[in-house]
Structure 1
Amino acid sequence: MGKGGSGKTTLAALFARHLAQQHVPLLAIDADINQHLAVALGAGQDEAALLPALGDHLDEIKEHLRGDNPRIASAAAMLKTTPPGAGSRLVGVGDGNPIYDRLVRPVGGVRLAVTGPFAVDDLGVACYHSKVGAVELLLNHMLDGPGEYAVVDMTAGADSFASGLFTRFDLTFLVCEPTVRSVGVYRQYTGYARDHGVRVAVVGNKVDDADDVAFLRDEVGDDLLGWIGRSAFVKAAERGRHLPIGDLEAGNAEALRTMRAALDGCGKDWPRYAAQAAEFHTRNATAWGNARAGADLTAQIDPDFVLQPATVAAH
């Protein structure tokens, strides 16, 4: 995530292509209101416009994920925050399931799902976060393991906090230009995120020289993980000429390897992950979900279920 225009989508595409080159289980998701990840991965504009949208199939996604969970009366009763419980269907990163079969497509060698654009019919009557809710549901029900990667291009700035989606990641890479405005977004984001134990690593972008690096170090300190320098490779992609990822400049490729190493070093605290899901589901249920459903949707929380390999095997 990061400030609008900071290079979030560029970095998401570079990192996804870097991982795909190594043939690891990978799913990329475009959850930005500006849907540009497909094009950044190499799709033409017409091809990108034809990709199926998660947000258009939210009811089907809910129906699949609820399975025969007795705590969920119907797909219509599910919120974007509804956590899994006994009987729920889970998804992996690279497994086959009806959701992926219908809504995930290969783009530039990367398996990609998109939330879909904010359409004309949505103007004035809908919230983009209703579309992003499909991503939150998927991640709430995703059982991923070491060496498997879900890379999500998030919407800009503090919009990420409009739901519990910001807690669903092992590591958030915050893209930061060497500017006061970009650093301001970093401070705002970390101020919210760290109250919830969210890990944040800063990746500088559009870095020209040692002064840029020094500025970022002064402003973000030890959070600075690495940086992407000005890149002829990226410029070519922005002009529609997508080169093999192996042609990326050595220093920028090293930054991607550093990102993967940092991510691989993050242990997953499954009980905390479940507790955060329950917290935000409770918030949504009490704020508006219960009134809409005419029922107490906090009862959807299964207190004995923690999404982790051992619990799933036991069920």
Structure 2
Amino acid sequence: MKIAFVGKGGSGKTTLSSLFVRHLAAVGAPVLAVDADINQHLSTALGLSDDVAERLPAMGAHLPQIKDYLRGSNPRIPSAGAMIKTTPPGEGSRLLRVVEENPVYAACARPVPLDGGQARLMVTGPFTESDLGVACYHSKVGAVELFLNHLVDGEREYVVVDMTAGADSFASGLFTRFDMTFLVAEPTRRGVAVYRQYREYARDYGVALRVVGNKVQGPEDEEFLREAVGEDLLVTFGQSDWVRLMEKGGAPSFGRLEEAGRAALATLQATVDASYERRDWQRYMRQMVHFHLRNAESWGNAKTGVDLAAQVDPSFRLGEMATA
């Protein structure tokens, strides 16, 4: 199951992403965490030191290797250079599973030990000084989109993506790659304004969107969110001594997280698990092709010098059986 955490900057989406990853690891679930935010903080939120976090391999730096592996023997893709971030899989493409070993994970993923288990972590890489004025951060996030396009995840397998803040998530088709999107909203006018913006964008594409209230200090804050977002409000998180200590660099046992927080995380997992029954691989593939054709016409054909529409394999069916 693919899960995105989104929200405005400072809402706490990275903190809640890390809490959800910790929760899944603690219950023994296979979990892959991906930091796709322009501000790379998920690794330290999961307990890695700054030095270790800085040495994590960036997916963007390994994009040619990722492309070459994923294209496999697909006859519609003559070279890795002919692939763009939206290139869909077809006959002969290599598909990825959450629980396996492959060259993409070997190059880009690292294990993170957590209380009661561990998670795999992948990062897009930071926006460096050499990128300033000459590169767009979406070129880095493109590695995540291509990865998710070729990922076949099953029931009770979890991919948790900490997305970039604000509406930047809608600058590509990446926002349609998830079974569930959790929008982290503070009980403020700006917090609910971001929700309304996301809701309007997501509606036309059938994106499953639920609101996670954060920094909620009492019934009045919860009522404010309830009036603003209605039934989309799933759970709320209040002040947490455990989170405060963790954000100061402490290493408290995850089992000491307050009961209200543990209950809220369990609700998030139950909501994700329930969405599996509504998974529609055909719609997922249609949306993938839709955004690929749009990107091909807009810039991809000119950049690669080939007709990228020819990469679409009309007979290919994505799904768990496709990896057999």
TM-score by length of 1: 0.98
- Match status 1:227 vs 2:236: yes
RMSD over aligned CA atoms reads: 0.9
1:40-75 alpha-carbon deviations (Å, 9 max, x no partner): 000111110011110111010000000000011110
* Equivalent of 1:146 in 151, 155, 158: 155
User: Structure 2 matches for 1:200-279, cutoff 5 A?
Assistant: 200-266=209-275, 267-279=278-290
Structure-1 residue corresponding to 2:300: 289
Structure-2 residue corresponding to 1:100: 105
Structure-1 residue corresponding to 2:68: 63
Alpha-carbon offset, residue 242 of structure 1:
2.3
1:181-219 alpha-carbon deviations (Å, 9 max, x no partner): 011011001110111110001000001100011000000
| Identity among equivalent pairs (%) | 61
8 Å Cα contact 2:95/2:323 also seen in 1? no
Structure-1 residue corresponding to 2:319: 308
Alpha-carbon offset, residue 291 of structure 1:
1.2
User: Structure 2 matches for 1:97-176, cutoff 5 A?
Assistant: 97-109=102-114, 110-176=119-185
Q: What residue ranges of structure 1 are gaps of 5+ in the alignment?
A: none
| Structure 1 stretches of at least 4 aligned residues deviating more than 6 Å after TM superposition | none
- Match status 1:78 vs 2:78: no
Alpha-carbon offset, residue 108 of structure 1:
3.9
Structure 1 CA distance for aligned equivalents of residues 254 and 309 of structure 2: 46
8 Å Cα contact 1:85/1:305 also seen in 2? yes
Structure-1 residue corresponding to 2:56: 51
Query: Relative to structure 1, is the Cα distance of residues 93 and 312 closer, same or farther in structure 2, using a 3 angstrom cutoff?
Result: closer
Alpha-carbon offset, residue 311 of structure 1:
4.0
Query: Relative to structure 1, is the Cα distance of residues 311 and 108 closer, same or farther in structure 2, using a 3 angstrom cutoff?
Result: closer
Give 2:260's aligned amino acid.
G
Q: What residue ranges of structure 2 are gaps of 5+ in the alignment?
A: 1-5
Residue range with higher mean Cα deviation, 241-250 or 101-110: 101-110
1:280-300 alpha-carbon deviations (Å, 9 max, x no partner): 000100001111222210110
Residue range with higher mean Cα deviation, 300-309 or 213-222: 300-309
1:79-129 alpha-carbon deviations (Å, 9 max, x no partner): 100010000001111211011012111224321000000000000000111
Alpha-carbon offset, residue 312 of structure 1:
4.2
Residue range with higher mean Cα deviation, 147-156 or 301-310: 301-310
Kindly tell me the number of residue pairs found equivalent between the two proteins. Answer: 313
Structure-1 residue corresponding to 2:31: 26
8 Å Cα contact 1:43/1:108 also seen in 2? no
8 Å Cα contact 2:62/2:107 also seen in 1? no
Structure 1 CA distance for aligned equivalents of residues 316 and 132 of structure 2: 39
- Match status 1:298 vs 2:303: no
Secondary structure, aligned partner of 2:214 = strand
Secondary structure, aligned partner of 2:187 = coil
Give 1:310's aligned amino acid.
M
